[in-house]
């Protein structure tokens, strides 16, 4: 759990083996109608959507989605929304990604409409990471402002390490809960990537950074994962790589809807 298994040269592995690795075997291009039919043909009435963050390629987002769905034992189709990240760990790449993730919001809105309404999934759960939270929060805000009955309904939203200005997040999230069954946000005081983002943005705290204070917003369950974060890197991917956090952040059994509380000593 928590690992994207890949070929390892130490084990003399050079090619992806679907029996051992998270493997991207092929990419097919579908029309909207073909896509909907493929969704309707899959078992399960609940769908899982992943929205990736900064510096993530299409292939990397596909593998991460597969890992999350597999580790959680999710019973239903899994999707990912790949906005055009430059997939470059640099200041220039960050600036490009900030523009592209905002640009992609309208496409995410349409994508969520398709899988909630056209494909007739009864429940849709969405997990966003890092900068991808900007597109998701903006998208569900737009959906929340749409009149009934055509407004899409999302059962649960998981916001992990959101790279969003904390005050902007609290302001923009207010109208959203009426259109979402539950919203849970994960933050950490040990997230070095969000520290860097705060510095880059003139010292304005990010919603996913709990150093000093935890961001609290009406209708949102906020969980501080600092104490259970064992990531030895930058501490930004704990949502999918930590054995303690991943099961908690699961909407896992889509048939169960319960409040989550977490504490760590």
Q: Digits of tens for pLDDT over the chain (265 positions)?
A: 667 676 665 555 567 777 777 888 899 999 999 999 988 888 778 899 999 999 999 999 999 998 899 888 888 899 999 999 999 999 999 999 999 999 999 999 999 988 887 777 888 999 999 999 999 999 998 888 877 655 567 889 999 999 999 999 999 888 776 678 889 999 999 888 999 999 999 999 999 999 999 999 988 999 998 887 545 455 666 655 655 555 555 543 333 333 333 333 2
What is the pLDDT, as a whole number, of residue 104?
96
Evaluate whether residue 29 is within a structural domain. no
Evaluate whether residue 179 is within a structural domain. yes
Burial of 150 (0-12, 13-18, 19+ CB in 10 A): exposed
Evaluate whether residue 264 is within a structural domain. no
What is the pLDDT, as a whole number, of residue 6?
65
CATH of the domain at 52: 3.40.50.1820
The answer to whether the CB of 173 falls within 8 A of the CB of 137 is yes
Q: How many distinct structural domains can be found in the chain?
A: 1
Evaluate whether residue 8 is within a structural domain. no
Determine the Cα–Cα distance for residues 3 and 22; give it in Å rounded to an integer: 9
Q: Show the domain range for 195.
A: 37-249
What is the pLDDT, as a whole number, of residue 257?
31
Angle between helices 132-144 and 166-173 (to 10 degrees): 20
Lateral strand order in the sheet of 180-187: 78-81, 46-51, 123-129, 154-160, 180-187, 220-224
DSSP structure string for 120-185: --SEEEEEEETTHHHHHHHHHHHHHTSPTTTS--EEEEEEES--SBHHHHHHHHTTGGGGEEEEEE
Evaluate whether residue 260 is within a structural domain. no
Length of the chain in residues, anyone? 265
Q: What pTM was estimated for this model as a whole?
A: 0.84
Determine the Cα–Cα distance for residues 136 and 185; give it in Å rounded to an integer: 13
Evaluate whether residue 2 is within a structural domain. no
Pinpoint the alpha helices (H) of the chain: 32-40, 58-72, 91-103, 105-113, 132-144, 166-173, 192-200, 238-241, 245-249
Evaluate whether residue 93 is within a structural domain. yes
The token duo for 107 is 């496409």
* CA terminus-to-terminus distance, the chain: 23
Evaluate whether residue 143 is within a structural domain. yes
Determine the Cα–Cα distance for residues 104 and 29; give it in Å rounded to an integer: 19
- Residue holding tokens 């130490």? 10
Nearest-CA neighbor of 159 among 198, 107, 208?
Answer: 208
Determine the Cα–Cα distance for residues 235 and 189; give it in Å rounded to an integer: 9
């Amino acid at each position: 759990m928590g690992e994207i298994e890949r070929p390892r040269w130490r084990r003399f592995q050079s090619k992806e083996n679907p029996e051992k690795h998270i493997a991207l075997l092929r990419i097919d291009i579908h029309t909207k109608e073909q896509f909907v039919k493929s969704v309707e043909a899959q078992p399960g009435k609940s769908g899982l959507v992943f929205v990736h963050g900064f510096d993530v390629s299409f292939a990397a987002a596909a593998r991460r989605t597969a890992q999350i769905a597999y580790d959680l034992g999710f019973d239903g189709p899994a999707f990912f929304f790949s906005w055009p990240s430059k997939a470059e760990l640099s200041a220039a790449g960050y600036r490009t990604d900030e523009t592209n993730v905002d640009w992609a919001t309208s496409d995410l809105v349409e994508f969520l409409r398709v899988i909630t309404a056209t494909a007739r999934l009864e429940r849709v759960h969405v997990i966003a990471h890092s900068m991808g939270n900007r597109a998701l929060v903006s998208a569900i805000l737009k959906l929340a402002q749409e009149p009934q009955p055509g407004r899409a309904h999302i059962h649960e939203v998981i916001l992990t390490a959101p790279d969003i200005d904390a005050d902007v997040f609290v302001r923009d999230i207010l109208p959203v809960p009426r259109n979402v069954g539950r919203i849970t946000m994960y933050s950490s005081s040990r997230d070095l990537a969000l520290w860097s983002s705060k510095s880059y943005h003139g010292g304005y705290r990010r919603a996913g950074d709990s150093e000093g204070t935890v961001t609290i917003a009406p209708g949102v369950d906020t969980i501080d994962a600092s104490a259970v974060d064992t990531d030895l890197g930058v501490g930004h991917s704990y949502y999918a790589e930590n054995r303690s956090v991943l099961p908690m952040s699961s909407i896992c059994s889509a048939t169960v809807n319960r409040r989550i509380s977490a504490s760590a000593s």
